[in-house]
Structure 1
Amino acid sequence: MTFGTYHGHISKTLRAIVYGAAVGDALGVPYECMERGTFECAGMVGGGAHGMPAGTFSDDTSLLLATCDSIGACGGIDVDDMRSRFRAWLYEGAYTADGRAFGVGNATAAALRQGFGCDGERSNGNGSLMRIAPLALTDVTDDEVRAVSAITHAHPVSTESCVFFVRVLRDVLEGRGLEGAVGRNIPADERFAFLEGIQELPRDEIRSTGYVLDTLGAALWCACNTGSYGECVTKAVNLGGDSDTAACVAGALAAALYGYDSIPRLWLDQLRGKEIVERCLT
């Protein structure tokens, strides 16, 4: 099983999703932790809490790239190999533009230190959702998606968020409408019930924190209420809070909807670390 087994024209589609996520992530990095309404993102800038140059992607994209690299190298899902690559990112700066990891989530760091995912109720950050999109382009089972999430985030809220997002991406890539894809795939767990009609909620009811369900809802809301890649990711960044991860997840979804060519060329040109991205796509 490789990236070739699920969807036609796989290389182009994978490229779109990976770059869609990376560009959204980089747009959001300078605004991470900023309060909604105190800024307006319109393009790539530097600075912010991490003080990074414009176009720098965060841990979100690094771990997504490590996921791609592992699947390509192993020809399928090997959670031990993925964990090893995640550790190389954390401890050696692999898959980063500057040779060092930044923006590391607490649950992710703890899981990689201890060798198994965190499964407490309070360990439901968005650290597995942000890297799960490439699995939509394989024929992995729901249980394999759960296992990949559980490398770092093993609680059912996190694992089922990942299963849901992979299913939605697959439906979108098959040409089914986004709103229908959301409705068809909502887990039975009542904690996911808010996703029914998510597109109709007012902006003030959309939360953009590090909690996985907030990130999932924010990304879906942005994609449902915009008509282009650029609109979607800037809308996600401008929600504030965990702006880079919201835009990373929204960016993967928007790129699945609109394709690689929908990503503004200027933003692609400004993205740092493209040689790392390309290495993980070949």
Structure 2
Amino acid sequence: MSIDQDAFAAPSLKSRIHGCLLGGALGDSLGYAVEFDSIEAIRSRFGPHGLTDLTTLEGGSHFSDDTQMTLYTVDGLVEALEWANDGVGADVNACLWLAYLRWLGTQGGPAHPAAPAPPPRWIDGNEVLRHRRAPGNACISGLAGGEMGTIYRPVNPDSKGCGTVMRSAPFGLIPHISADAVYKFSADAASLTHGHPSARQSAGSFSLLIHHLVSGHSLHAAAAAVLEDVRGLKDVASELPERLEAAVSLAGEAVLQPEELVRQLGEGRVAEEAFAVGLYAVLATAPGAGSGVSPEEHFRAAVALAVNHSGDSDSTGSIAGNILGALYGEDCLPKAWLEALEAPEVIRGMADQLVGVTTA
């Protein structure tokens, strides 16, 4: 099935940036409420269809470390672009490392004496980002060692957790740079915390998907382009193309039940599984041309599919929300969900900063 993209106006870059960051936070928030719950427990709490509406959560919604780290990725990129706009070359990965070190400080972890002490920026003054929301072990340990990880000097060399891919959408939101540059920036940043090839390749490929969407590709064309990109990677970890090919292929069949989704694509705990589940959820619920299904209806269906399973629901929900927001812009975001979202002003604040340095 394919989306009739002529049925809605192409969104502006500003709308795509806001849509991607807010959409990811909405998917993260829905998934965080059921993260690592079994599908049986989810159905017991929310009914046979699981959790499908952010407004039904008692006590309000909360986003996780996925949104926190995504926003700190934005901050690192904004700082690098601020330097560039002033005519000064900056090491992009060093800016991201400093941003992630400031995030580490919000999580209560002691700074390594060998690590630099970066000066605070606007993002650090937002108390909501200081909550500890189940941060990934590799993200914490990779930053706590005091050494800047690289592809050639990896930290956590055996780790391929989803903590890389869930934070990597912002790289695809930067206009006027090549696909190769998007991939390199994202993969290099993944190496700051995770050393396994699949972790950085999954992060880079997810950023490429966002890049293709922001560049105006249709959803299916963007997915096909990423598959082609992945097949062409040097020394690609075999599990990544296998998972993505399965996600694209299965999306053309009947929608998988949660038990079968996990069996076919995994629980989303590692990078290639999280990317595959999030992408599958968006593709499997994509409306056909002339169906009359609105972007908001697609968003609701895809995010519900992405989070209702026995796995890492916040990361898979976040990835699905990022994809949909980059595709449709803000028009796909349910207004009632935005009203229920935790600290939307912080997310919009970071989105506006990224808009400011990329469209000035």
| TM-based fold match above 0.5 | yes
After superposition, the Cα gap between the structure-2 partners of 1:80 and 1:126, relative to the gap in structure 1 and judged at 3 Å, is same
Decide whether aligned partners of structure 1 residues 255 and 278 sit closer, same or farther in structure 2, where only a CA change above 3 A counts: closer
User: Structure 2: how far apart are the matches of 1:277 and 1:21?
Assistant: 10
Q: Counterpart of 2:134 in structure 1: which amino acid?
A: G
CA positional deviation for 1:130: 0.7
Aligned-partner residue type, residue 69 of structure 1 = D
Give yes or no for the alignment of 1:86 onto 2:100. yes
For the 8 Å contact 1:37–1:238, the answer to whether it is kept is no
Percent identity over paired residues: 24
| CA–CA separation in structure 2 for the residues paired with 1:154 and 1:122 | 6
Residue of structure 1 in register with 2:276 after alignment = 217
1:247 aligns with 2:317: yes
In structure 2, relative to structure 1, the CA distance for the partners of 1:258 and 1:10 (3 Å cut) is: closer
1:114-162 residue CA offsets vs partner (Å, 9 max, x unmatched)? 1334555641001111111111122261322211111212321111112
1:55-75 alpha-carbon deviations (Å, 9 max, x no partner): 211100011111112222331
Bigger mean CA offset, 133-142 vs 185-194? 185-194
Structure 2 letter corresponding to 1:219: G
Whether 1:272 and 2:342 are equivalent positions in the alignment is yes
CA drift at 1:98: 6.1
The answer (yes or no) to whether the contact 2:306–2:313 under 8 Å persists in 1 is yes
Unaligned runs of 5+ in 1: 1-6, 48-52
Match of 2:35 in 1: 32
Does 2:45 correspond to 1:42? no
- Taking the TM superposition and a 5 Å limit, the aligned residue runs for 1:1-282 are 9-39=12-42, 40-44=50-54, 46=57, 53-75=59-81, 78-92=92-106, 94=124, 97=128, 99-114=130-145, 115-117=147-149, 119-120=155-156, 122-138=158-174, 139=177, 141=181, 142-186=183-227, 187-188=230-231, 189=236, 190-194=238-242, 195-201=244-250, 202-203=256-257, 204=260, 205-227=264-286, 228-281=298-351, 282=353
Query: 2:98 is matched by which residue type in structure 1?
Result: S
2:348, 2:328 → 1: CA distance? 20
Shift of 1:8: 8.6
Q: Helix, strand or coil: the match of 1:32?
A: coil
- Paired residue total: 271
> 1:4 maps to which residue?
none
TM-score, structure 2 length as denominator?
0.69
Bigger radius of gyration among the two: 2
Is this contact kept in 2: 1:57–1:97, CA < 8 A?
no
Question: In 2, distance between residues paired with 1:207 and 1:197?
Answer: 11
SS in 2 for 1:259: helix
Q: Determine the C-alpha separation between the residues in 2 that align with 1:157 and 1:68.
A: 22
Counterpart residue identity of residue 105, structure 1: G
Q: Which amino acid aligns with 1:180?
A: A
- Distance of 1:151 and 1:98 partners within structure 2: 20
When the two structures are superposed, what TM-score results if normalisation uses the length of structure 1?
0.87
Query: Contact 1:223–1:250 at 8 Å: present in 2 too?
Result: yes
- CA RMSD in angstroms comes to 2.3
> Structure 2: how far apart are the matches of 1:107 and 1:120?
7
C-alpha contact 1:136 1:167 (8 A) present in aligned 2: yes
In 2, distance between residues paired with 1:242 and 1:21? Answer: 14
1:38–1:161 Cα change, 3 Å: same
SS in 2 for 1:55: coil
Question: Given that residues 268 and 277 in structure 2 are in contact (C-alpha distance below 8 angstroms), is that contact kept between their aligned partners in structure 1?
Answer: no
Structure 2: distance between partners of 1:255 and 1:96? 25
Is the Cα–Cα contact under 8 Å of residues 89 and 101 in structure 1 kept in the other structure?
no
Q: Which amino acid aligns with 1:126?
A: C
Partner of 2:356: none
CA distance 1:9–1:179, change in 2 (3 Å): closer
Gaps of 5+ in 2: 1-9, 43-49, 85-90, 108-123, 251-255, 287-297, 354-360
